[in-house]
Structure 1
Amino acid sequence: MNTRLMIRKLHNVMADTYALYLKTQNYHWNVTGPQFASLHLLFEKQYQELALAIDLLAEHLRTFQERAPGTFEELNALKSIQDGDKHADGDEMLQHLAHDQHVMLSTLEKAFAAAKAADDELTMHLLADRMAVHKKNAWMLESIMVVPTVQQTIIRHRKRPA
């Protein structure tokens, strides 16, 4: 069992979760544009869920007698997620956050593989739950970005009753 590798990967999950939390909250505060109301609420829902996840991950790390990373310096050194663009508009924010959901999934998959190698079913379960959240978030963000093609618009228009 390689518990040390699993713990290192959990530190990465914690750092990426925190980075995504900060970015999502920042975008919640600063979103503008025609989708303001819906994006403001969606981003709020997502950053609140991430806040709970951060606490859960930190406490899980503590069960291994490990210190949870808690300074910006520590988290920055461990994260894969890039900081938010302070000039991003609503559409760019959606693109960034959708991309980051996939970065989170990759980080989680690596940690899951390490937990599986360590034969730690509790950690595998926790990580699988986190993967489900990020997969759903990616789907939601990507669904908002879908722009109908001209052909789809014409087809829909033709199907409407006269």
Structure 2
Amino acid sequence: MTSKKSKRISIDIGISESNREKIAEGLSNLLADSYTLYMMTHNFHWNVKGPQFNTLHTMFMTQYTEQWAALDVIAERIRALGYPAPGTYSEFIKRASIKEVNGVPKAEDMIRHLVKAQEATAKTARKLFPVVDASNDQPTADVLTQRIDVHEKTAWMLRSLLEE
């Protein structure tokens, strides 16, 4: 039996391998936060109850649907940089800055958890800008800008539900 070696084709896109690795690492952390946020939002969509049920159920569905689409964008950028995208719960748990919520919180607490998770995901994306800027990596900067915009806007909308 002959051994088949994996043949790696070099990537020459104007970003050093070292910086591509740093960017892929940061994007992997963003993917972990994004997936954890997706799961939290979907869980709350299934389990919300109370006077705001219809509003929150619908809002959470809009949010987790948008989040689901973003996962692919982030993972594909990691792949375009030449690295494998993480895709297991254990990897996401290790990388995520967002912690799982145990049990089923009350609706208002769900909103508070989601505000924190949206803000945490925005911060994870923002941390990556120095290496992205230094690498002149506009495609990743575009992904990060779009994700930060969505997370900050969503956090604002959720916070608005808590204000009087």
TM-score normalised according to structure 1 size = 0.87
1:33 aligns with 2:44: no
Q: Is the Cα–Cα contact under 8 Å of residues 33 and 90 in structure 1 kept in the other structure? A: yes
Task: Write the distance in 1 (CA, Å) between the matches of 2:103 and 2:117.
Answer: 16
Matched, 1:91 2:108: yes
Number of the residue aligned with 1:115: 132
The alignment-based identity, stated in percent, is: 38
Shift of 1:108: 0.6
CA separation in 1, counterparts of 2:112 and 2:143?
A: 27
Q: Is the 8 A contact 1:13 1:111 kept in 2?
A: no
Cα separation, 2, equivalents of 1:146 and 1:42: 17
Deviations 1:28-52 (A, max 9, x none): 0000111010000000000000000
**Distance (Å, rounded) in 1 between the aligned partners of 2:20 and 2:125:** 16
Question: What's the secondary structure of 2:122's corresponding residue?
Answer: helix
Provide structure 2 residue ranges, at least 5 long, that are not aligned to the other structure. Answer: 1-15
The whole-number CA distance in structure 1 between the counterparts of 2:101 and 2:38 is 11
CA distance in 1, matches of 2:27, 2:67: 15
Alignment-derived partner of residue 47 in structure 1: 64
Partner of 2:97: 80
Cα distance in 1 for partners of 2:49, 2:148 equals: 29
Q: Residue 140 in 1 paired to residue 157 in 2?
A: yes
CA distance in 1, matches of 2:74, 2:20: 16
- Name the structure 2 match of 1:150: none
Task: Quote the residue 1:62 is aligned against.
Answer: 79
Please list the CA deviations of residues 8-60 of structure 1 after superposition, one character each: whole Å capped at 9, or x if unmatched: 11110000000000000000000011101000000000000000000111111
8 A Cα contact 1:12 1:107, kept in partner: yes
Point out 4+ residue stretches in structure 1 off by more than 3 angstroms: none
Aligned partner letter, 1:12? N
Q: Could you tell me the TM-score, scaled by structure 2's length?
A: 0.86
Partner of 2:3: none
- Residue identity opposite 2:127 in structure 1: K
Q: Alignment length, in residue pairs?
A: 147
Q: Which runs of 5+ in 1 are unaligned?
A: 148-162
Distance 2:91 2:77 in 1: 18
